[in-house]
Structure 1
Amino acid sequence: MKKLFILLLTITTLTSCKNDSKTEDSKVENENTELTFIQGEFVYYADAAVIQTRKDVYGVVIDEKMHELNNQVEPFKMEITDMVPVEIRGKLIPKPEGEEGWPFKVEIKEIIKVSKPDPNKNDVVKLGSQE
């Protein structure tokens, strides 16, 4: 009877440990699938970073990856406020209740591509007189 109890206890313990490792694997898998591909125009100016797509605008979490993207974008800028086409993968973070800003922030996880802006695209309005 005692041997049967120990055998059942051992099987239960091994089965429980096996299920725990599967749960951890699926969490890692879910974290990887939560990344979103975003293609849009990026600008970082005065401690604010934004990616604008055709439909949405995302605030960008200012961290090491954002600074890495900004360094890749710099050679393509003519002025500090120029927006540069980028492709990234990131984690979308909903805006906290009561905070101002766009509905979602994106935390950049992977920089896929930085492109030269189209010189024929002239959608910038400049104020002031030209002499």
Structure 2
Amino acid sequence: MKKILLLFIGLALLSCKETTLFEGEYIYYADAAVLQVGNNAIYGVILNEKTKELNAQAKSFKEAPTDGVLVQVRGYIVPKPEGEEGWPNSIEIKEIISVKKQNSDLNKAVILEQKGYVED
């Protein structure tokens, strides 16, 4: 009986995934979210309940909908399924550690507006 119990405990421990700490600029706009970690790594963010919670916390730090916030989150890297569009890897957020306002000078998004063009 002890051996069976130890076997189940061992299997349970092996099946648990280790979450990773991610720290960077989080941007959510128009039903899409990304997390830029460092200067080069950009991940898509899987939209789930934790993402909704993060968006709610981030709202108070944003001046415009396109503004980013600084976050620390824990989660898993999920590779993009073959044949789908998007970033090569996404993050599935499991825990929100902190949300802070971004430096206002770095939070200036370039917003392009398309003007109508009429030919003579």
The two structures have a TM-score, normalised by structure 1, of 0.75
Question: Which position in structure 2 is the counterpart of 1:23?
Answer: 10
- Tell me the TM-score normalised to structure 2 length: 0.81
Whichever structure has more helix as a proportion of its residues is 1
Q: What corresponds to 1:107 in structure 2?
A: 92
Q: Which amino acid aligns with 2:8?
A: S
The match for 2:43 is 58
Distance 1:68 1:17 in 2: 40
Runs of 4+ in 1 over 6 A off after TM superposition: none
Q: Distance in 1 between matches of 2:52 and 2:46?
A: 10
C-alpha deviation, 1:20, in angstroms: 2.2
Question: Tell me, which stretches of 5 or more residues in structure 1 are unaligned?
Answer: 1-13
Shift of the alpha carbon at 1:49?
1.0
Q: Does residue 125 in structure 1 map to residue 113 in structure 2?
A: no
**RMSD of the TM alignment (CA)?**
1.9
Tell me the SS of whatever aligns to 1:69: helix
Q: C-alpha displacement at 1:58, in angstroms?
A: 0.9
Query: Which residue identity does 1:24 align to in structure 2?
Result: L
Q: Hey, what's the Cα distance between the residues in 1 that align with 2:106 and 2:80?
A: 31
Question: Partner amino acid for 1:45?
Answer: Y
Alignment-derived partner of residue 32 in structure 2: 48
Q: Is the 8 A contact 2:67 2:108 kept in 1?
A: no
CA distance in 2, matches of 1:76, 1:122: 11
For the pair shown, the structure with the greater C-alpha radius of gyration is 1
Quickly say closer, same or farther: Cα 1:41–1:96, change in 2 above 3 A: same
Q: Which has the higher strand share?
A: 2
Partner of 1:74: 59
Distance 1:80 1:19 in 2: 51
CA distance in 1, matches of 2:104, 2:59: 16
